[in-house]
Amino acid sequence: MAITKVWLDESENECTMCGACEAVCDSVFEVPEKMAVRKNADLSQEDGIKEAAEGCPVGVIAYAVDGGSARAN
């Protein structure tokens, strides 16, 4: 089950720019203002992406797994 896409989903909450996702997985996430997925994000970092999504205090990190989508909280 490979992660194929990661994005900021602010349909319910807004990114608070806390920086936690970058601290957990800086090969994928950066927080210049609101969270951004790096242009050359290494989506093979599945554990880091999932950990960042689960650890995001407002649950705005979404990712797709083999075409489906999931959000941790």
Is 60 near ligand SF4 (CB under 6 A)? yes
- Please identify which residue in the block is written with the tokens 């790096």: 38
Is 16 near ligand SF4 (CB under 6 A)? yes
Among 4, 5, 10, 17, interactor with ligand SF4 by CB under 6 A: 17
User: Alpha-carbon dihedral of residues 2, 14, 35, 39, nearest 10 degrees?
Assistant: 60
Q: How many residues sit close enough to ligand SF4 to count as binding (CB under 6 A)?
A: 14
| Span between the terminal Cα atoms of the chain, in Å | 19
For ligand SF4, the binding residues (CB under 6 A) are: 15-21, 31, 35, 56-58, 60-61
